[in-house]
Structures are given as C-alpha cells and as structure tokens.
Amino acid sequence: MRNPITLDVEFVRHHFPGLNDWAFFENAGGTFVPRSVIDRILRYMTETQVQPGGDYTASILATERIAESQRLMAEMINAAPEEIVIGPSSTMNVYVLSHALRPWFKPGDELVVTNLDHETNIGAWRRLTELGVVIKEWQLDAGTAELEVERLAALLTERTQLVCFTSCSNITGAIHDVRAITRLVHDAGALACVDAVAYAPHRPLDVRALDVDFCIFSTYKLYGPHLAILYGKREHLLEAHGQNHFFIGERDIPLKLNPGGVNHELTAALAGITDYFDTIYGHHFPDKSAERHQRVVDVFELIANHEEVLAARFVDFLNTKSNVRLIGRATADKARRAPIFSFAVAGRDSGELPGRLAKQRVAIRSGHFYAARCIEALDLASQNGVVRASMVHYNTLGEVDRLIARLDEAL
Ligand SMILES: Cc1ncc(COP(=O)(O)O)c(C=O)c1O
C-alpha cells in the first residue's frame, strides 16, 4: 500500500541553497547539496582544519568528525564502519579495488562486465587481461536496452571469479534485481561488484540484505560533497591486497585501501547528508525512535513516490512523440526505474537540445555519459549519444511541465 504521507517538496527545496529559477534536470551528473553539508564543511574548516589523530583539542575534534561521517555513511547503507572506504570518486575507488584484488586472479580466470555500465565498473576490470584474466561481456539487448539475466547465466562458468554490473543504469534508469543477480553469481561461486552510483540518490541501499560483495556510489550525486564510497564485505577487504604505505597493516581496514587517506573536510561533511535525511524524516514522521537505516528507508519511500509522479508526467509526454526514441523502459513504475530518462530524436544530433533549453533556464545534457559502450551498442554514437533529463526528489511537477513545454517546442 502506498504510504499516505507525501513528500513536502516545498520543505525539501528550502534546504538546498543552490536551487533557483532554473529547472534543473542534470541530477544524474551531480546533485545540489543541502545547507547541512555546506555547514559541516564550513565548521570543519573554521574550527578543525588541522591534522587529525593528535592530542590537542582541534585535532581530537577533527578525528571525531571524520569518524562520525564514516559511521553514519555505514549506517545509511547497513554496513559496518570499517567496511566503508571513502575515496575521491567511484572511478578511483574501483581502480584501487581492481589493484587490490590482483593477487586473487590467475591466468584463465574469468571476470564478467556489462556493456550497459558506466565505464567505472568496466575499464579497471578489463585492464586485468594483463594478468591473463579472461573478460566476458554481459551484453545488453540492443532492442530493449535491457540486461537479461539469462544472458548472464549463460556466461557463468566454474572459472568465473567476479561479476560487475549496475543496480541502476545512468542511461536508462532501469533498476535491476541486485539480490537475485547476486544470488545467481554466488551460486556460480563468484563475487558481485555493483555500481550503485545512479541508484543511491533514489532508493535505499542495504548492502547486507543485497548480500553484495562490493558496492560503489558517489556522494556528490547523493546530495553530498564530491567524494565516493566503496563498500566491501569485511572478509574481502581484509583479504584484499593493501594499496597504502608498507607500514599500514593488512588488517588495517579501510585505511589500507585508501592510499593518500581521506579528504578531511569533505569526509566530515558527509554527516551533512544524514543530517538532511534526519530533518526530512523528522518533518514527515512522528516516530522518533526508529533506527537510522529505517529512517533512511522511510524517507526514500517518500522520495520514490514523489519521483514516480514526476516520471509519470514525463513518460506520458514522451509517449506522445512519435519522433522520440526513449531508451529503455517506458514506465514510471518506481520499482522498475529511477527518473533518469535518455532519448534520441529521429534525425537530430543529441547535442542540439541542451543549449536550446538552457536559453530558457532548463538544464538537461547530452552525450554518452561515460557509458560509451552502451551508446555504441544502441547504435547512437553517430547521433552524439542521447539527450538525458534526470530528476530527483527536489524537482517539482511544475519544473517537469516546463521541461515538457520547452521540449515540445524544440522537438
Ligand atoms: C552509474 C555511474 N557510475 C559511476 C560513475 C562515476 O562516478 P565518479 O565520478 O565518482 O567516478 C558515474 C558518474 O556519472 C555514474 O553515473
């Protein structure tokens, strides 16, 4: 049953100082941040911009602030703090992880990557062919832009060590059944590495329930600072080969997988994301005793319901346009998609539209969005990729109507 409480979008928008009279639909590129995140950066840099780990007051406080963010991010996705590696980007986190796992692989071992994913969860793994590892590609269906699980099943062998896939495509917005895919991967004796970058701003992550081995997401797309998080099951992180200085021990997780350490002020500001979720929770729900992860789940339910309303309006519009090819699922169903919409217009270069709409203060974008293999497989490279309009919960129906009106003129 649908939650009777609906998201108070006006209240939500009030927390984002970056929102203005632009109708902003480039959220899959990066979201605006609530004031709580900005305040945390400001507070850290004003009061505690010293080296953490010392015995003086500012340093003690700096250490506490960084540790607090580590703990809160872990609680948000139902992980333990030491299972969370905070790095500069998801791309860098996967790069480091792929190096950390090198000793696990022997020549002839097989890794599966998709051609739907953002290159982050493909390229670093493909480089392991240097070790004699065999890369198999789980190919999307070029007609539907879907990853069919049967195709993955046909690729799995007793030599498969790792399967890398996305929980939500940054092109199609399709949400995948990560739990079911992970079960299939585990049954084949392999591990699952999931890119949740496009998923995390829209739906709650519970890495334990999903039982994934590794999972990545970028906090600058989750209303936070420009950082990213790599989750790894504790036993895997312990077994992975340390990538930090030689004196950082193999049992020292997550530090051994964090060459250079964390960015202090931005890490401290991650707690501003959970501050924001707490505020949204407190505004909508009377029960103040719920655990953090449950509070996050409850807030995301409101978010998903609101996003579904926005998505329905946009899908209905696209369906009326015979010259538009929507890539992927023509549905607003919140269980099946996030409100990330990519489309191509017959006979038109995808690069034309964003500049035209920007003149009317509507922000969208075009290109391959680093999912270049997907664009190639869909035969859209010659059109310069897709036009993408991506929504999050701070978008309003009024903004979607502006997007529709401007597109209607332009198409
Ligand atoms: C699905 C997906 N994965 C990975 C990335 C890369 O994230 P980062 O910029 O943190 O490396 C992006 C960025 O757009 C993305 O959309």
pLDDT tens digits for 214-273? 999 999 999 999 999 999 999 999 999 999 999 999 999 999 999 989 999 999 999 999
Could you give the CA distance from residue 387 to residue 366 in angstroms, rounded to a whole number? Answer: 4
**pLDDT confidence of residue 1:** 46
Which three-class secondary structure state does DSSP give residue 400? helix
Q: Are residues 53 and 93 in the same domain?
A: yes
Tokens of 298: 């409850």
3-state secondary structure of 108: coil
Give the Å distance between the CA of 172 and the centre of ligand 1: 14
**pLDDT for the residue 287:** 82
Verify that 345 and 254 share a domain, yes or no.
no
Determine the average pLDDT of the residues in 12-37.
98
Atom of ligand 1 nearest to the CA of 91: 11
Q: Which tokens go with 247?
A: 């004196």
Cα 229 to middle of ligand 1, angstroms: 11
* Helix, strand, coil fractions of the chain, as percent rounded to 5: 45, 15, 40
Which residues lie below 8 Å from residue 295, measured CB to CB, with a gap of 6+?
A: 277, 278, 281, 285
Pocket test for ligand 1, best of 370, 374, 386 (most atoms within 8 A of CB): 370
Say how far apart CA 212 and CA 178 lie, in whole Å. Answer: 8
Confirm whether 301 is domain-assigned: yes
Measured distance CA(343)–CA(327) in Å, rounded: 5
Structure tokens at 350: 């995808």
Range of lowest pLDDT (28-42, 163-177, 242-256, 287-301): 287-301
Does residue 371 sit in the same domain as residue 267?
no
Residues 173 and 92 in one domain: yes
Pair 331, 402 in one domain: yes
Mean pLDDT, rounded, for 2-27 = 93
Mean of the pLDDT values across residues 318-325? 96
Statement to judge: residues 254 and 303 lie in one domain: no
Query: What is the pLDDT, as a whole number, of residue 233?
Result: 98
| Mean pLDDT of the region 292-305 | 97
Domain span at residue 88? Answer: 38-273
Atom of ligand 1 nearest to the CA of 218: 10
The residue-averaged pLDDT of 121-150 equals: 98
Same domain, 201 and 305: no
**How distant, in Å, are the alpha carbons of 16, 102, 299, 300, 337 from that of 7?**
15, 45, 9, 10, 19
Question: Per mean pLDDT, which range of 2-16, 207-221, 340-354 is the poorest?
Answer: 2-16
Distance 145 CA to ligand 1 centre (A): 19
State yes or no: pLDDT of 121 exceeds 80: yes
The verdict on 338 and 321 lying in the same domain is: yes
Closest CA to 112 of 173, 210, 185, 197: 185
> What average pLDDT score do residues 86-102 get?
98
Q: Does residue 340 surpass a pLDDT of 50?
A: yes
For every residue of 282-335, DSSP letters joined together read: HHH-S-TTS-HHHHHHHHHHHHHHHHHHHHHHHHHHHHT-TTEEE-S-----TT
What pLDDT is recorded for position 288? 80
3 state DSSP class of 134: strand
Mutational test site, ligand 1, from 86, 115, 118, 217, max ligand atoms within 8 Å of CB = 118
Tell me: do 259 and 336 sit in the same domain.
no
Nearby residues of 187 by Cβ (< 8 Å), 6 or more positions away: none
Q: How many separate domains does the chain show?
A: 2
CA-nearest residue, atom 7 of ligand 1:
90
Q: How far is CA 43 from CA 15, 26, 38, 267, in A?
A: 17, 29, 9, 12
pLDDT at residue 4 in the model: 72
Domain for residue 187, yes or no? yes
H/E element holding 407?
helix 397-410
Does the residue 140 lie in any domain?
yes
Residues 216 and 90 in one domain: yes
CB 115 within 8 A of CB 374: yes
The answer to whether the Cα torsion of 82, 83, 89, 91 is positive or negative is positive
pTM of the model: 0.97
Asked if 113 and 58 sit in the same domain, the reply is yes
Question: In 3-state terms, what secondary structure has residue 168?
Answer: strand
Q: Average pLDDT of 364-377? A: 98
pLDDT higher than 90, residue 2? no
Judge contact between 263 and 227, C-beta under 8 A: yes
User: What's the whole-number mean pLDDT along residues 391-398?
Assistant: 98
User: What DSSP string runs through 343-381?
Assistant: EEETT--TTHHHHHHHTTTEE-EEE-TT-HHHHHHTT-G
**Residue 4 forms part of a structural domain:** no
What is the DSSP-derived secondary structure letter of residue 154? H
Cα-based torsion angle of the residue sequence 39, 34, 371, 104 in order, rounded to the nearest 10 degrees? 50
Element (H, E) at 390: strand 386-390
Mean pLDDT of the chain: 97
Where residue 50 falls among pLDDT bands split at 50, 70, 90? very high
How many angstroms separate the CA atoms of 191 and 88, rounded?
A: 24
Domain assignment present for 118 = yes
Continuous segment of H or E residues that includes residue 275 = helix 271-284
pLDDT at 3: 62
The burial of 168, by beta-carbon neighbours within 10 Å (0-12 exposed, 13-18 middle, 19 or more buried), is given as buried
Distance (angstroms) between ligand 1 centre and the Cα of 60 equals 33
Same-domain status, 18 and 74? no
Phi, psi of 157 (to 5 degrees): -135, 180
CATH number at residue 348: 3.90.1150.10
On the question of pLDDT at 373 being above 70, the answer is yes
Q: Beta-strand (E) ranges in 139-211? A: 160-166, 191-195
pLDDT tens digits, residue range 59-84?
A: 999 999 999 999 999 999 999 999 99
Residue 52 located in a structural domain: yes
Neighbours of 263 (CB within 10 A): 16
Please state, in angstroms and rounded to a whole number, the distance separating the CA atoms of residues 89 and 63. 22
Do the domain assignments include residue 283?
no
Residue list, ligand 1 pocket, CB within 6 Å = 89-91, 118, 120, 166, 170, 195, 197-198, 218, 228, 370
H or E, element range at 91: helix 90-100
CATH of the domain at 155: 3.40.640.10
Would you say residue 281 lies in a domain? no
